[in-house]
Amino acid sequence: MKAVCSMFCVVIFLLFTANSSFSQDKSANDIKIAQIKHSESRVKFDPSRNPAKDLKTAISEAKKQGKNILLDVGGEWCIWCHRLDKLFEDNKDLADFEHENFVVVKVNYSKENKNEKFLKAYPKVDGYPHLFVLDSNGKLLRSQNTGDLENGQGGHDKDKVMTFLREWAPKKKS
């Protein structure tokens, strides 16, 4: 009886640890997917994220959905990054257009993690936020200084941002 009880405990332990491991993998995957999905609240810049893995996930999603990829480089320390995020939060049409045409990946740049290894594959960034547009295979199409998208009044210009997104959205096949 003691052997049966011991065996039962081992089986329960193995089931628990396997389920726990599965849950951890699943939640890590959910975090990746949440990073690139549309939501009312913009995803934050996270120094613990791996942008190479996020980009790999984004490429897979972009290919499936016929979208381009938008790398949004910045940090939580950056007031202009927050202002750009707020522009999308406050303008549903802008957020919807972005979601319909781009898989967005936030790439952190901060004291905690500059992501230099990842960012060295792209043109030099002179200010933040900075946007890189990639095709669905991950090929660079455009490097965009968001200073060019400002309104001169402490924010980003909705029309300039929409024009930029329209210009770099994937061309729909007719």
Q: Where along the chain do its domains lie? A: 37-168
Could you tell me which residues come within 8 angstroms of residue 4 by beta carbon, excluding any fewer than 6 positions away?
none
* pTM score of the predicted model: 0.78
Each of the 174 residues of the chain gets a pLDDT tens digit; together they read: 455 444 444 444 444 444 444 444 443 444 344 444 455 567 999 999 999 999 999 999 999 999 999 999 999 999 999 999 999 999 999 999 999 999 999 999 999 999 999 999 999 999 999 999 999 999 999 999 999 999 999 999 999 999 999 999 999 776
**Alpha helix stretches (DSSP H) within the chain:** 2-36, 51-65, 79-90, 92-101, 116-119, 158-168
| CATH number of 37-168, picked from 3.20.20.70, 3.40.50.2300, 3.40.30.10, 3.40.50.300 | 3.40.30.10
